Amino acid sequence: MTTPELEPFGARLRRAMDTRGPLCVGIDPHASLLADWGLNDDVAGLERFTMTVVEALGGETAVFKPQSAFFERFGSRGLAVLERAVAQARAAGALVLMDAKRGDIGSTMGAYAATYLEKDSPLFSDAVTVSPYLGFGSLRPALDAARISGAGVFVLALTSNPEGAEVQRATVADGRSVAQVMLDHIATENAGATPLGSVGAVVGATLGDAHADLDVNGPLLAPGIGAQGATPADLPRVFGAALRNVLPSVSRGVLKFGPDSVGLRAAAARFADETRAAVAEA
């Protein structure tokens, strides 16, 4: 069966952020969080957790970001849960950003692209995270597949983990940081796109100051809100003039209120409202 063509991811994301609120909710079913919910660390617990989040928030959250590793650890049964979650979330009108952080070369990168970015794949997602540190050009199969399917790609640029600096803050011959080189490549991919490009960057909200040019005409995924210490009020300092294109990502800060659906919805709404306020005041 032929699926209908999708408009570009950047346009769909801009509309979702403007109408549903600028928030990405991570779905991270690690063992300790399952225990906090009173669930066993098994496939049944994984499914109960995941579907509760999707059912509670799918009708009002702009983006879900399932972390694929937490599903992969259960093998094929875990991936089956992930497939159902992706389908249900998208059916409810939410966008799905698969947090897979894939990075490789040639045919292997092409296989990753087919997994997440070809519309007939069981794990087809609206976007996927990728690692460019085999060279930005290694991402070409994913970038091309995303363009064909109307999907998006989020490229790791400035991550919040301390270890990332030794690669991302290193400088190349012209004096730019490696991260800035990646950001400049992203800007080139997004040139001329309206209202927003479909190639995004991952920039940690905990950085304090990005010390980089974030004007990439694309979305900026900002993990680190909530349990990692950053708040929506920190976003203007990190992102400056690019603030309107920031998509804050919150996981435990919302998920800790489950399994109560009302609590989950209230927490997600609060983070979205705080982000709107931060953007309006900047």
In a domain, 150, yes or no: yes
Residue 105 structure tokens: 């070369």
Nearest of 156, 185, 141, 197 to residue 9 by alpha carbon? 197
CATH number of the domain enclosing 211: 3.20.20.70
In a domain, 208, yes or no: yes
Q: How is residue 171 annotated by DSSP?
A: B
- Residue 230's pLDDT band (boundaries 50, 70, 90)? confident
Q: Is the model more confident about 177 or about 3?
A: 177
**C-alpha to C-alpha distance for 36 and 89, rounded to whole angstroms:** 23
- pLDDT for 282 equals 67
- Residue 2's pLDDT band (boundaries 50, 70, 90)? very low
Residue 69 structure tokens: 């590793």
- Identify the active-site residue in 65, 101, 119, 256: 101
Residue 183 structure tokens: 């950001």
* Residue type at position 193: A
Residue 248 structure tokens: 């804050």
Please tell me whether the overall predicted TM-score, pTM, comes out greater than 0.85 for this model: yes
Distance spanning both ends of the chain, measured CA to CA = 47
Residue 247 phi, psi dihedral angles, 5° rounding? -115, 95
In a domain, 80, yes or no: yes
Question: Does the structure show a pLDDT above 50 at 1?
Answer: no
- pLDDT for 166 equals 95
Ranges assigned E (strand) in 55-149: 63-66, 95-102, 127-130
In a domain, 4, yes or no: no
Active site residue 119: no
What SS3 state is found at 229?
coil
Whether the CB-CB separation of 14 and 196 falls below 8 Å is answered with yes
In a domain, 1, yes or no: no
Total structural domains within the chain: 1
Q: 228: domain range? A: 9-281
